[in-house]
Amino acid sequence: MKVLANDGVSQSGIDALEKAGYEVITTTVAQEQLINYINEKDIAVLLVRSATTVRKDLIDACPGLKIIGRGGVGMDNIDVEYAREKGLSVINTPAASSHSVAELVFGHFYGLARFLHNSNRDMPLEGDSNFKGLKKAYAKGTELKGKTLGVLGFGRIGQATAKVALGAGMKVVAFDPFLENANLELEFFDGQKVNFDIKTISKDDVLKQSDFITLHVPAQDDYVIDEAEFKIMKDGVIIANAARGGVVNEVALVKAIESGKVAGAALDVFEKEPKPEMQLLMNSALSLTPHIGAATNQAQDRIGTELATQIISILG
């Protein structure tokens, strides 16, 4: 039986599938050629990440497909319900990348709090000629310890991000329309464990209280953060979106930065991905990464292994 990992899969995943007798193909097939390739090669399992889309036309045209797998959490690039109606299994890996996304968010937060995203650009250019000027320009950093982190969306990734915040000495407040409370267990290197019980509060209360805000929500029809939400926030707030492009109104974000409401923001995802707006790319208050939330070796290993385990379980 053949598995096409069209957007790639870790070696650990390949090894697990091959050990179980599957043939794994890692050729990247162009979207417009995918239907023909799947049928010609008799592909039973199609694995994708965010680059490949699996819509109704492909599902209808490829009757030999048995499983569609998404290496990651969000499945907005797959017509999930339609595929299941047609008898296909649709799987993903919701837990595998949580900590990787959480660490990226805090990489951005620490960088923004101390202006590292700009300092790292300016030092090579002016470090020898304007050292004192740069020192003065970047002398008003802020510490995360003692600050309040607001988490919008308190599922696996939101909770993983909250754990990092708690470890950093932050207070955590959270909003989730489907969750009233969560017990977070922090496990340390020597086996000690500490538990925190977080009760969710309203979205407006999170926005009012938070010094830092991070979004961990699925794709939405409407913005989660728009002009009205920015007005509620504290002055000088720092925001991160490593969830989905389109959950933050980027035009409103730029206006909030220009007004001083938002001191800085981190974007790992964009409304017009893979071609973000130039006004975002050139904005010195933004810390930017190219959708790499789950892109650690450890997360990709977990994703590959988790997909392989599910495929073997379903197909035997």
**Which tokens hold the place of 14?**
């390949």
Amino acid (1-letter code) at residue 288: L
| 216 classed as catalytic | no
Q: How would you classify the pairing of strands 89-92 and 67-70? A: parallel
**Which tokens hold the place of 126?**
């002016």
Catalytic-role residue among 108, 291, 302, 306? 291
| 244 classed as catalytic | yes
Question: What stretches of the chain adopt beta strand conformation (E)?
Answer: 2-5, 23-25, 43-48, 67-70, 89-92, 148-152, 171-175, 181-187, 193-199, 212-215, 237-241, 262-267, 286-288
Cα separation, 67 vs 314, in Å, equals 9
Q: How would you classify the pairing of strands 193-199 and 181-187? A: antiparallel
Catalytic-role residue among 103, 271, 273, 277? 273
* Half-sphere exposure at residue 202, Cβ-oriented, CA atoms within 13 angstroms: 5
Catalytic-role residue among 229, 244, 250, 306? 244
The alpha carbon of 46 is separated from its chain's Cα centroid by a whole number of angstroms, namely 22
Using alpha carbons, select from 27, 25, 87, 94 the residue that is nearest to residue 62.
87
| 291 classed as catalytic | yes
Which residues does the annotation mark as catalytic?
244, 273, 291
